[in-house]
Structure 1
Amino acid sequence: MNNLLLSALNPIAFNLGPIQVHWYGIIIATGVILAVTLAVQEGKRQGIDPDNIYDMILWALPVALICARAYYVIFQWGYYKNNPGEIIRIWDGGIAIYGSLIGAMIVVILFCRSRFIPVWKMLDVAAPTVIMAQAIGRWGNFMNQEAFGKVTSLQFLQGLHLPQFIINQMNISGAYRQPTFLYESIWSFLGFLVLIFLRHNPGLFKRGEIFLAYVMWYSFGRFFVEGMRTDSLYWGPLRVSQILSIVLFVGALVILVIRRRNNQDVWYVNKEISKQED
Structure 2
Amino acid sequence: MFPYLFEIGGFQVRIYSVMYLIAVLIALYFARKKSKKMGINPNHTENIVIFAFLGGILGARIYYVLFKWEYYSQFPLEIIAIWHGGLAIHGGIIGGIITAYLVGKHYGIKLFTFGDIILPFLLLGQGIGRFGNFANGEAHGVPVITPPSIIFKMQNIFPEFWHKVLNTLNLSNTPEGMSKLAEMIDKNREIIINFQGKMYELKEYVPWGISFPPKYNPPAYQEFGTLAVHPTFFYEMILNVIFASILIYFWKNDDNIGKGFITGLYLIFYGIIRFFVSFFRADDLMMWMFRAPHVASFVMIISGIIIIALKRRNI
* TM-score bin (small chain): 0.7 to 0.9
Correspondence for 2:67 = 75
Taking only the aligned residue pairs, the percentage that are identical comes to: 31
Q: CA deviation at 1:26?
A: 1.7
Q: Which residue of 2 aligns with 1:208?
A: 260
Pair member with larger Rg: 2
Instruction: Give me the whole-angstrom Cα distance separating, in 2, the residues matched to 1:54 and 1:199.
Output: 17
Task: State the one-letter code of the partner of 1:248.
Answer: M
String of CA shifts for 1:25-53, please: whole Å, max 9, x gaps: 22222211212112112222222211102
Q: Distance in 1 between matches of 2:268 and 2:117?
A: 16
- Structure 1's unaligned 5+ residue stretches are 1-8, 265-278
Partner of 1:197: 249
Task: Report the alpha carbon displacement of residue 149 of structure 1 after superposing the two structures with TM.
Answer: 1.3
Shift of 1:205: 7.8
Select 1:121's aligned residue among 107, 113, 121.
113
Q: After TM superposition, list the pairs within 5 Å mapping 1:131-150 onto structure 2.
A: 131-150=123-142
Report how far residue 19 of structure 1 moved. 2.3
- Aligned residue pairs: how many? 251
Normalised by the size of structure 2, how large is the TM-score? 0.72
Per-residue deviation, 1:189 = 0.6
Residues 117-157 of structure 1 deviation map (CA, whole Å, 9 limit, x = unaligned): 23221110011011011001111111121111111158959
Q: Which SS does the other structure have where 2:86 is aligned? A: coil
CA RMSD of the aligned region, Å?
2.5
Kept in 1: contact 2:144–2:230 (CA 8 A): yes
What's the CA shift for 1:225? Answer: 0.7
Q: What one-letter code is carried by the residue in structure 2 that aligns with 1:181?
A: F
1:155-213 Cα distance to aligned partner (Å, 9 max, x none) = 959844x8xxx655776522110011111111111111111123345877871101111
In the TM superposition, 1:10-49 aligns within 5 A as 10-49=2-41
Which secondary structure state, in structure 2, belongs to the residue aligned with residue 176 of structure 1? coil
Contact kept, 8 Å, 1:132 with 1:192, in 2: the verdict is yes
Question: Which of 268, 271, 285 is residue 233 of structure 1 equivalent to?
Answer: 285
Residue deviations 1:220-260 (CA, integer Å, cap 9, x gap) = 11111112111000122111111010011012102211232
- For 2:36 and 2:256, locate their aligned partners in 1 and report how far apart those are by CA, in whole Å: 21
Unaligned residue ranges in structure 2 (runs of 5+): 146-185, 187-202, 214-219
Amino acid at match of 1:119: L
Retained in 1: the 8 A contact 2:140–2:282? yes
User: How far apart are residue 94 of structure 1 and its match?
Assistant: 1.8
Q: Distance in 2 between matches of 1:249 and 1:50?
A: 30
Q: 1:245 and 1:122 mapped to 2: Cα distance?
A: 21
Q: What amino acid sits opposite 1:71 in the alignment?
A: Y
State the distance in 2 between where 1:47 and 1:205 align.
12
